[in-house]
Amino acid sequence: MTVTMQISGHGLELTPALRSYAEKKLAHLLNKDGSTDSIHVVLASERHSHRAEATVHGRRGTACAEAEAEDMYAAIDLLETKLVRQLVREKERHGDHHPERHGGNGLG
């Protein structure tokens, strides 16, 4: 399956530097454990704030987050933090229900 990251801009010019920064900050989410299929990122500029939002589709479901800041780079940083927190929490919640696959005895 092909893993994709789609980045789009709404109300702002999506410069190569901005696209590259977003790709670098969020690329590790694709490589965590192979459970992510795609990430769709929307960067939007409004009057006095910048908003970054993303949807991550994967085996465990969908994670969505939104972040707002005075600077687009700061909004992307906040977005990445929120997504990591969600994905870690989801992974811990579901856990590994088959410890014998990893050398455990399944007793505890």
Q: Consecutive sets of 10 residues in the chain, 108 residues long: mean pLDDT of each?
A: 82 93 89 74 92 89 92 96 88 66 55
The single residue listed with the structure tokens 């702002």 is 12
Question: Alpha-carbon distance 65 to 43, whole Å?
Answer: 12
The secondary element (H helix, E strand) that includes residue 73 is helix 72-94
| β strands within 18-100, DSSP E | 36-45, 50-58, 61-69
| Global pTM value | 0.80
Domains detected in the chain: 4-94 (3.30.160.100)
